[in-house]
Amino acid sequence: MEEHRKLLKVIENIEQVMIGKREVAELSVVALLAGGHVLLEDVPGVGKTMMVRALARSVGADFKRIQFTPDLLPSDVIGVSIYNPKEMEFQFRPGPIMGNIVLADEINRTSPKTQSALLEGMEEASVTVDGRTLALPDPFFVMATQNPIEHEGTYPLPEAQLDRFLLKVKMGYPGREDEVEVLRRAEKQPPINRIEPVISLEELRDIRIRAAEVAVDDTVKGYIVDLSENTRKSPDIRLGVSPRGSIALMRAGRALAFLKGRDYVLPDDIQHLAPYVFSHRMILQPEVRYEGIDAEELVERIVTRTKVPVRRAGAR
Amino acid sequence: MNQKSVDRLFLGLIYVLVVLLIREWLLPIIELTGAGHLALFVIFVGLCFAFPLFGVPWWISGPVKVVYAVWFVAHAHMDGPLTPVSSVMFFMGDLLQNAGLLVTGELGRITDPFRTVLFLALLWMASYLIQYWINLKMSVLIFYGMTVVFITVLDTFSPYSADEAIIRILVVGFLLLGLTFLAKLADRQKKRPGLPAFLLMTIPLLVLVTAAGAVSQFLPKSEPAWPDPVPFIKSFAEGAGDRLGRDAGKIGYGEDDSMLGGPFVGDNTVVFEATAQRGQYWKVETKDTYTSRGWIHSSEEQELLPVGEGRPIDEPLLAGTTRGEDTANLSMQLDFEFIVRPYGAISSSGPEGTEFLQEAGTGKVIPFVNNAPAVLDAYIVTYDEPAYSLTALRNTAPDTLPQGEFDQYLQLPDGLPQRVHDLALEITGREETLYGKARAVEQYFRQNGFVYDQANVASPGTGEDFTDHFLFESKRGYCDHFSTSMVVLLRSAGVPARWVKGFNEGEEIGRSDAGRQFEVTNNNAHSWVEAYMPGVGWMPFEPTIGFDGAGGIDYDLDLDEMTEQETQEMEESAKPEEPEEEEEPAAAKGDGFWKSLGDLISENSRAIYTVLALLAAAAIAAFLLRDKWLPRVMVARFRKRSLDREGFERAYARLLGRLRRYGLPKEDGKTLSAYAREVDAHFGGTDMMRLTEAYEAIVYGGRDAIREERAVRESWENLINRTIG
């Protein structure tokens, strides 16, 4: 399987610019393969932009960046039609959303109206301008960042819109050793310029189709549903994961299995991805939140408590 | 009808059934003890259940029950007019008298009225316990099971016949179980049934169970296919542990008593059956000469005297009363050229032309037909059981003994050790009458560490005196030891005594209008003692522990003259006698195949049981040590199997089971590969990971074939072998 070697190379590329964050790089590739988007919940200055740029370069994709501010308008994101006196007609000037890989920085600092313009694009893979529907480029991959909710001047994304993101990832600060390495590399030429494309966009589209063909046995599907159901049954969770969440977990699982060079999904893939897929799709009970337990932790607890199927569904 | 009434009706029905079950307990108890008053006991139990049912407060129900108990006791036990005052006086008096006995632990002396009181108290408590079961747990299964066990055990081992009772218990018990189940069901539904629902549920149940009981009553019942197991169980239990010392002899009536001692094996062969009014000892003969080893009779040639026609078999009683003339019908199973007879025998009659002659010395009665000793199948003995006058017995001072007349019954061997004489004087020295001395010796065996045992009996060494050995060395033996020693001690103390052979009363097997039926087996062969009481005659004594066959006493004294010991004796002798030895009813009832199978089993029982025990032990050991061998078996089987998908799945599941036993269980929330890493980390190597990857491809990847089958087989075997603990 050549493809997954190439994908591993993509991850290595990202690792060059972002030291000690292989996990995040891997998840980003998973989301890219699965046709989903990633929400990074993080403090500024830990290298998000670098990572996304490295990813874009590795796949030879168009990279756009939108810095969300409170006064940003939807048209600033999507684009605007301007009257061209020479041609005597309105001409569409595409906004920054019209790229393959889009970094949407601090998405929760802008107004809900602008947020929803982006989110609609993510969901529909198209935008509507002046009554015309414009398809977004394929692949279209958004990596959005949001400041932790506690920060002032934020408009938290509503839960219903959060599930437009396939994964929610927390990056966190690098470890001590890793940060020393970051400093060492900062003295030299920024490594981002040395990154060569590994696969073409054409290949990426192809790989995405292949990844969607990875087999998910009924045994594993049953396991995914068990996990979702347990989030609904848990007394700590006010609103559990919807069937859409279950589908998202299966899609992500396929991509991860493909990345690992397998043509079938293991419960291990599901276990690994569940916290990233589920955590932003649930609403916790207030008392649990006051106790400082976050959603990822709850999902991990549910994972350890849910029985992993070890016999084929339907077997004696 | 409101809900409360329905509930009460339901509970009331259950209580009625419970009272019926308790009645089944009372029936055999009352029949076997002869206590009577069944209805009164049942009414008492009914009261115990009725009061709580109707919510009667304890300060009413308690006194009512006490009043009922007082009336019951007075009604059942008091002579004379029954007035409230006299009843209470009687009751209180009895209570006070017995309370003292309870405190001092003299349980044997408590009176019948007090026993009734205690029994009523027991019933009270039992009904309370059953109510607790019903009200709190709605469960009667334990009680029902105990009832069935109780009745079946009694039916098997006692004269009580439970043919009808078992059907009644079946019907009542199943009704109870059904009703309590309904109650539990209603409880679980959190909904009490109304009257229609109640009737709808209970009436079909009543009809069905009653119909089933009725049908079973009339269905033909085949005889048990297996012969009665009781004799087999008993003979096996009795035979246990008798292999010590010399070869065991077989119990039974023998002629030669010149060498006593040695262990015995029980033998349940029936000797004879007797029909009589009471159970009693069956006497055959007496012997007068003790040889240090056993018994012979002084004169070898016995003069034969005709019996009957003015010459009774036993010498008539000189002082005392008799119970009135009676007859005993004897039906012999073994061939004896003599008859067995109860005490006070007067005459005997057999078929036409039978003449009965008695040996003058031994007292043995021999039937003669055509002037030759004959064996009789059946005969009748007329007797008048004596009760010896206590007044006369208390006047048996040693000097009333006629000089010289009883020398043959004071004989002792020359070599009798001095310590036997000393012991005799020590026991009897304080007694002034011959009767007192005899009783003192009789009691001596009960208090000084003597043990009744047929099996583990040591034999005296060469030149050792049989009596001396028993009295001072072994203190362990059976009737011959006790009776011989008592005779020797009595003779040493100057009391004329002789050794008696015969049978004890045997086991009661039934009752009829003609009297009670007793079955006497070889196990009942017995020996005891007769001592001569001047002015009274020859009187039997029973020194053997666990036997109760002393001669009846006529307590013809003024009450305040009686000593405490005599009072105690009076009460003891008033108790119904309990047969000590168990019988074997017709051991060879089954015929043909079953008989031979039964014989085979009983002959080889030891071997069969040993083999069974060894097999069981081997099975247990194999189970406990399965960690050592099971993996090897699994590997051997695994090698023969083809490793298709199903076979591999099974093999993998086995491996998980073995690893769990080994102490590496897979947690539910852990994936197989995570678990495989853990196992590999424990054992080293990558076997589990390789195996798990192949397994995952099958289970999650839907593959049918196994990749790298050879490596997978190897890994599996490696892992299974690692689990050998």
Average pLDDT over residues A105-131: 84
Q: For the residues A40-64, what does the mean pLDDT come to?
A: 83
- Domain boundaries in chain A? 2-207, 213-305
* pLDDT reading at A272 higher than 90: yes
Confidence of residue A315 (pLDDT cuts 50, 70, 90): very low
- Mean pLDDT in residue range B8-22: 88
Which band of pLDDT confidence, cut at 50, 70 and 90, is reported for residue B323? confident
- Segment B222-251 shows an average pLDDT of 54
Mean pLDDT value across residues B322-336: 83
Look at A157-161, B10-14, B506-510, B673-677 and tell me which has the smallest mean pLDDT. A157-161
Query: Do A84 and A45 meet the contact criterion of CB atoms below 8 Å apart?
Result: no
Task: Note the pLDDT of residue A273.
Answer: 94
Confidence of residue B1 (pLDDT cuts 50, 70, 90): low
Specify which of A71-80, A251-260, B602-611, B645-654 reaches the highest per-range mean pLDDT.
A251-260
Mean pLDDT for A73-97 is 84
Residue B267 confidence (pLDDT) above 80: no
Q: How confident is the model at residue A245 (pLDDT cuts 50, 70, 90)?
A: very high
Inspect the interface and report whether the beta carbons of B649 and A312 lie closer than 8 Å. Answer: yes
Q: DSSP 3-state assignment of B129?
A: helix
- pLDDT > 70 fraction of chain B, expressed in percent and rounded: 88
Q: Is the pLDDT of residue B567 over 80?
A: no
Q: What is the pLDDT of residue A258?
A: 92
- Least-confidence region, from A221-225, B21-25, B109-113, B289-293: B109-113
What sign results for the dihedral spanned by CA atoms A225, A231, A233, A239? negative
Q: In whole angstroms, give the CA distance from residue B450 to residue B95.
A: 36
Question: Which residues 220-239 in chain A show a CB within 8 A of chain B?
Answer: 220
Is the per-residue pLDDT at B585 higher than 70? no
Task: Please report the pLDDT score of residue B631 as a whole number.
Answer: 81
Percent of chain A that is helix, strand, coil (3-state, to 5): 50, 15, 35
Task: Give chain A's mean pLDDT.
Answer: 85
Pick from A219, A303, A305: CB nearest B700: A219
Across chain B, mean pLDDT equals 80
**Quick one: pLDDT at residue A150?**
60
B701:A308 CB<8 A: no
Kindly tell me if the per-residue pLDDT of A287 is higher than 50: yes
Number of H helices, E strands in chain A: 13, 11
Residue B162 φ/ψ, nearest 5 degrees: -105, 25
- Looking at residue A149, its pLDDT comes to 61
List all residues 6 or more positions away from B168 whose beta carbon is below 8 Å from its beta carbon: B20, B24, B213
Preceding omega of A235 cis (within 30 degrees of 0): no
- pLDDT reading at A281 higher than 50: yes
Chain A residues with beta carbon closer than 8 angstroms to that of B693? none
The pLDDT assigned to B648 comes to 86
Rounded distance between C-alpha atoms, residue B336 and residue B374, angstroms: 8
The tens digit of pLDDT for each residue in B450-477 reads 888 877 777 777 778 888 888 888 888 8
pLDDT reading at B295 higher than 90 = no
What is the number of residues in chain A?
316
A97 touches chain B (CB under 8 A): no
Examine the pLDDT at B409 and tell me if it is beyond 90: no
- Per-residue pLDDT averaged across B605-629, rounded? 85
Q: Name the residue type at position B346.
A: I
Of B340, B326, B207, nearest in space to B277 by CA: B326
By CA distance, what is A266's nearest residue in B?
Answer: B700
Question: What confidence score (pLDDT) does residue B247 get?
Answer: 45
pLDDT of residue A256: 93
Pair B511, B517: CB distance under 8 Å: yes
* In the predicted structure, residue A14 carries a pLDDT above the cut 60: yes
- Structure confidence at residue B244 (pLDDT): 37
Q: Give the pLDDT confidence score for residue B572 in this predicted structure.
A: 52
B696 backbone dihedrals φ, ψ, rounded to 5°: -60, -40
Tell me which H or E stretch contains A64.
strand A63-67
Separation in Å, CA B5 to CA B12, B138, B183, B188: 10, 18, 15, 20
B646, B670, B702: residue with CB nearest A308: B670
Task: Select the more confidently predicted residue: B360 or B60.
Answer: B60
Asked if the Cβ–Cβ distance from B649 to A219 is below 8 Å, we say no
Give alpha helix (H) positions in B78-111. Answer: 84-104
pLDDT tens string B547-566: 876 566 766 665 555 555 55
How does residue A220 score in pLDDT terms, banded at 50, 70 and 90?
very high
B114-143: b (≥16 Cβ within 10 Å) or e? bebbebbeebbeebeebbebbeeebebeeb
The rounded percent of chain B whose pLDDT value lies above 90 is 2
- Residue B450 has φ and ψ, to the nearest 5°, of -80, 145
Grade residue B233 by pLDDT with cuts at 50, 70 and 90.
Answer: low
Greater pLDDT, B176 or B250: B176
Instruction: For residue B58, give the H/E element and its range.
Output: helix B58-77
B56-65 long-range contacts, Cβ below 8 Å, gap at least 24?
B65/B124
Q: What is the fold of A2-207?
A: Rossmann fold (3.40.50)
- Which pLDDT value is given to residue B588? 41
- Look at residue B243 in the predicted model and tell me its pLDDT: 39
Do strands B451-452 and B476-477 pair parallel, antiparallel, or not at all (unpaired)? parallel
Half-sphere exposure of B616 (CA within 13 A, CB side): 6
Nearest chain A residue to B693, by CA: A266
Higher confidence at residue B406 or residue A33? A33
CATH entry 1.10.8.80 includes domain A213-305? yes
Best of B654, B699, B706 to disrupt the A interface (most A CBs within 10 Å) is B699
SS3 of B49, please?
A: helix
User: Is A305 an interface residue toward B (CB < 8 Å)?
Assistant: yes
- Which whole number is the average pLDDT over A5-26? 85
Q: Is the pLDDT of residue B684 over 70?
A: yes
- The backbone torsions φ and ψ at residue B381, rounded to the nearest 5 degrees and listed phi first, read -115, 125
Least confident piece of the model among A244-248, B82-86, B380-384, B581-585: B581-585
**Residue B350, token pair as written in the block:** 């057999």
Between chain A and chain B, how many beta carbons pairs sit less than 8 Å apart?
56
Give A 163-202 residues with CB within 8 A of chain B: none
Q: B353 versus B26: which is more confidently predicted?
A: B26
Report the gap between the CA of B130 and the closest CA in chain A (Å): 44
Q: What percent of chain A has pLDDT over 70?
A: 96
Q: Is the pLDDT of residue B502 over 70?
A: yes
Q: What is the pLDDT of residues B364-378, one digit of tens each?
A: 888 888 888 888 888
Instruction: Tell me what pLDDT residue B231 has.
Output: 61
Residue predicted with more confidence, B707 or B286: B286
* pLDDT, average across residues B577-581: 44
Residues of chain B found within 8 Å of residue A264, distances taken between Cβ atoms: 696-697, 700-702
- How does DSSP classify residue B471? I
Collapse the DSSP code of B105 into the 3-class scheme (helix H, G, I; strand E, B; otherwise coil) and give the result: coil
- Residue A57: Cβ within 10 Å count: 22
The residue that leads in pLDDT, B555 or B546, is B546
Q: Is the pLDDT of residue B246 over 50?
A: no
The yes-or-no verdict on residue A314 having pLDDT over 70 is no
Three-class SS state of B411: coil
> Of chain B residues 641-700, which have a CB less than 8 A from chain A?
646, 649, 653, 656, 666-674, 696-700
CB within 8 Å: B698 and A220: no
